[in-house]
Structure 1
Amino acid sequence: MHSEDIPALTWTRLAQKLLRNTVLIVLIGVIGAGAAYAWAATRPLTYSATASLVAANLQRVPTYVRLASSDEVLDGAVSGLSVADARAQLTVTTPSKTNFVMVKATGRDPQQVADLANAVADGLQREARQIEEALGNSASDDALRVVTAAHAPQNPTRDDRLVYTLAGFVIGVLIGVVVVLAREWWGRPIKGMRDVRAQAPGIPIVDMGAAQPGSSPASPSRSGRGTLHRQVAFLQLAHPRVLVCLVPGTSDRRAVGAADVARALTAEGRTVMLVDADFVESSASRSCGVDASRGLTDVLLGAAAHADVAVLQGDLTVVPPGDAPPNPDEVLASEEMREFLASAEASHESVVVQLGAGAERHFPWVGVRAAVIVTRGRTTTRQLRITLRNLAEQNIAPAVLLASAGKETPDAEAPAPGG
């Protein structure tokens, strides 16, 4: 197996992922559109009404436009109206090169905006008449007159519900895209064979069936491919009987580990040695309820014999890790470790080794079968992908053991070594 065989996150793959999740993305967009429409529907609508005036003197029009917003006009116009801020609601304009003055009022109440526009138009007309009278203009009554009164509008000036709905849909789609890409980048829990095959094309996969941590996994009778030990034997035809187990990126006690694989093999009548080389978590020893303070490191350093640290549990022999060495990668790759595995292989039908998290970056042995244990609902696609790529970069061809975990079980009482 080569690293190129493990699918990497490329733009093409991400685009394919988006296409496969089109329904989910559109659904999130529809939810966003519905939420935006509901929010917009609660907002009050805006209405506007316009009163038109015509000036007798074109040169006076700019003066009248400025006059409409003056205190003299507004104070009198709003005296009978319940308007909080008349200036904010008014817009007074004149079409280019015309003698028309347009008084437009905007607000939430259609009748109120019509009354405000008419009141300002009337007030502006009175002020214009007074100005012309002060200037001695005999035609002051026609200086500025209302030609079109404002009427209460029947329809709102602007209905933002469509705009908000479209915006909500677009935002929802973007959120859906981010969710899909985030799930692909950070990984999602593996559910079954299909997910494993997508991450591990061409790699042997053994379905262990249901595995309750702390007990024996069930044989995968559903697959119809024989018992677990026969499937493991097929994996080991061209390899020694040493099966090195890696659990991608998790120390979750509900995840299936090497101890569960070892129990499954002993349940089918095989003599198995379980070697816990996880110096940090001691996950296999913990699962078996074995004291991990003295074990493999003592044997490798010559401080103890194999029989002194091994714990017998029926057909299962457990070797705990012992104290963590400062150089675990070198210890596992040492000649003493190879001799220990050869001795274990000679005295047992199967040897199952548990490595710690991240050990796949410096796989210590050549000529043994590596097995990546994947727990349904616990291991993520990203964790499996990274583990396989790390092994592929070292030309290690692993198998994948797929299991289903039950609920967490409490640690058993630790038996003494040699028991």
Structure 2
Amino acid sequence: MDLLHYVRLARRNWLLILLSLILAVGAAIAVTSSTPPKYVATITMMVSGHDREGSLSTAIQAGALSQQRVQSYANLLPSHRVVSQIAKDDDIQRVQENITAQVVPGTVILRATVTDTDPVRAARLANDLGTAFTRLIDEIERPALTHKKKRPGDKDDRSGHKNDQPNVKVTMVDRADVPKEPVSPRPLVNLAIAVLVALLAAMAIIVLRDRLDTTIKTSETLQLASGSSTLGIIGYERDARRHPLVLRDRGRSSRAEAFRSLRTNLQFIGVDRQPKSLVITSCLPGEGKSSTSANLAITLAQAGWRVILVDADLRRPRIPSYLGIEGAVGLTDVLIDKAYLHNAVQTWGEPSMSVLPSGQIPPNPSELLGSEGMRRVLAQLTETYDMVIIDAPPLLPVTDAATLAATCDGVLLVARHGKTRREHVIRAAELLASINARVVGSVLNFAPARSSHHYGYDYGAEVKTPVSV
């Protein structure tokens, strides 16, 4: 998949993306408004070793001792012994959970933070924490006091003990100020994260659905699945269900132009073997093969072809309702010798086009379509007309279309955009190949049209479209 494919996916599913963004923004606002603000107060302390003799070697030793102690002090800072001096018994655990301590890398600086919903309380707890911690370290690091005999020149401290200073001490460098701005929630950050997550989730759903969706959406996919050229792409129009024929708007709609392109492409499919009988079918019902048959026959007739449209769908005939003709007498009556062929054929439209309706629905459609009488009818029609268009039932549910395809010159396979599946087209192509039927091409029906407006040409000349065989 290239970038253009993802852009098309996003455009096609813009409503899902918009809905995801709306939900994400709503969730971000709800979370932000329901989250109580939190304030952080920070203190800075420095760990230093005591240099007893004032020499260089002892100073180095004191510095090394400070480096060794500082990480242990960071772990000791939120301990129960320290926190119990600044918080009540029932509040110790909460305060512990909101204390963090870290060592500034490469230094003996210890930085502690206290998080609280009250800024004043956060600053007070942080300062009390620093005071309590320095007092604790002073107690821990002070050497055991021993009484010794006083020597001449020894200096006594106030308690009468010699050199009772702690080995390492902690000094609070910066006290905590009352924070003015909360650190959470952060509305803009929450909104940005929500939008980003929504976009990623929406695109993941769209791409996953596209990967799992095996319906035909491009002419290239249809061509690969059917193993034949895509001769036409018929655009979707809202009024196509109510007005299935291309005669409205004086034949200047986009669908009319698409069928003219299909007609042009049909002229190039067999230079040495031009088909005279063409079966038009689909994989499953509802893919538009009957409307394609009728419109292609009309377009051929408009170009001066002697064409006849045969309604060979003896199970669910649609041609009479599309053309507005009587279909009580037709193909089935000819096949069972209840009517002559020339009496069953009707003339329709201007320029005139011949139509052979299906007639009465028989109980054995497959047997009638595969009979010797059907072959004689087809032979007679191909001698009389330039093109015989046969509207056949779908391929996969019944065998009627396959039976006709085996005796006709070619098959045109119709697939519906976004409905026909690749595996269905592959099965249909394999079925036609197994009976040595000639698939002259395929048609992608109901494709999303960029514009449903007709071409605004006022003169009667036909617009030629490029051949895409």
TM-score by length of 1: 0.57
Q: 1:369 aligns with which of 404, 410, 419?
A: 410
1:397 is matched with: 439
Partner of 2:81: 67
Residue range with higher mean Cα deviation, 194-203 or 171-180: 194-203
Q: What is the identity, as a one-letter code, of the residue corresponding to 2:172?
A: V
For residue 310 of structure 1, what is the amino acid of its counterpart?
A
The 3 A distance-change label for structure 1 pair 52 and 178 is same
Opposite residue 231 of structure 2, the aligned amino acid is I
Measure the CA separation in 1 of the matches of 2:77 and 2:232. 90
CA drift of 1:242 comes to: 1.6
Q: Secondary structure at the match of 1:257?
A: helix
Identity %: 20
Cα distance between partner residues in 2 of 1:275 and 1:358: 17
Confirm or deny: 8 A CA contact 1:246 1:373 kept in the other structure: yes
Question: Where in structure 2 are the equivalents of 1:246-325 lying within 5 Å?
Answer: 246-247=281-282, 249=284, 251=286, 256-290=291-325, 295-297=330-332, 299-300=334-335, 302=336, 304-306=338-340, 310=344, 312-314=346-348, 315-320=353-358, 322-323=360-361, 325=363
Task: Give the Å deviation of 1:354.
Answer: 0.6
Amino acid at match of 1:398: V
CA gap of 1:389–1:108, structure 2 versus 1, over 3 A, is farther
3-state SS in 2 of match to 1:213: coil
Instruction: Report the Cα offset of residue 276 of structure 1.
Output: 1.7
Greater Cα offset, 210-219 or 245-254:
210-219
Structure 1 pair 155/215, CA: closer, same or farther in 2 (3 Å)? Answer: closer
Residue 370 of structure 1 aligns to which amino acid in structure 2? V
Number of aligned residue pairs: 374
Deviation digits for residues 325-364 of structure 1, max 9, x if unmatched? Answer: 4673x54333332223223334544322111223566764
User: Does the aligned pair in 2 maintain the 1:49–1:150 contact within 8 Å?
Assistant: yes
1:186 counterpart (196, 215, 224): 215
Partner AA of 2:296 in structure 1:
V
- Corresponding letter in the other structure for 1:205: L
SS of the aligned residue for 2:439 comes to: coil
TM-score by length of 2: 0.53
Q: Please list, as runs of the form range in 1=range in 2, the aligned pairs for 1:95-134 lying within 5 A after superposition.
A: 104-107=113-116, 113-121=122-130
Post-superposition offset of 1:245? 1.1
Question: Kindly tell me: are residues 112 and 199 of structure 1, through their superposed partners in 2, closer, same or farther at Cα, counting changes over 3 Å?
Answer: farther
Q: Deviations over 1:75-126 (max 9, x none)?
A: 3998xxxxx964543357999xxx9997532257766533332345557789
Instruction: List runs of 5+ in structure 1 lacking aligned partners.
Output: 1-14, 79-83, 130-137, 408-419
Mind listing any 5+ residue stretches in structure 2 that lack a counterpart? Answer: 50-68, 139-158, 453-469
What secondary structure does 2:296 align onto? helix
Structure with max Cα Rg:
2
Question: 2:394 matched to which residue of 1?
Answer: 357
1:213 corresponds, among 224, 244, 248, to: 244
- Which residue of 98, 112, 117 maps to 1:89? 98
Moved more, 169-178 or 226-235: 226-235
Contact 1:276 1:354 survives alignment (8 Å): yes
Contact in 1 for aligned 2:281/2:393 (Cα 8 Å) = yes
Q: Equivalents in 2 of 1:402, 1:91: separation in Å?
A: 65
Question: Corresponding residue for 2:146?
Answer: none
Secondary structure of the residue that 1:21 maps to in structure 2? Answer: helix
RMSD of equivalent CA atoms:
6.4
Q: Work out the CA distance in 2 between the residues paired with 1:167 and 1:182.
A: 22
CA contact (8 A) 1:245 1:372 kept: yes
Instruction: Quote the Cα distance in structure 2 between the aligned partners of 1:274 and 1:113.
Output: 88
1:74 aligned counterpart, secondary structure: coil
Identify if the C-alpha distance between structure 1 residues 207 and 254 changes in structure 2 by more than 3 Å, giving closer, same or farther. closer
Q: Measure how far apart 1:319 and its partner are.
A: 1.8
Query: How far apart, CA to CA, are the structure 2 residues paired with 1:229 and 1:52?
Result: 85
The structure with higher relative contact order (CA 8 Å, sep 6+) is 1
Asked if the contact 1:297/1:322 (under 8 Å) is kept, the reply is: yes
SS in 2 for 1:265: helix
Give the 5 Å matches for 1:156-175: 174=204
Residue 340 (1) aligns with residue 377 (2): yes
In structure 1, C-alpha distance between the alignment counterparts of 2:407 and 2:7, rounded to whole Å: 46
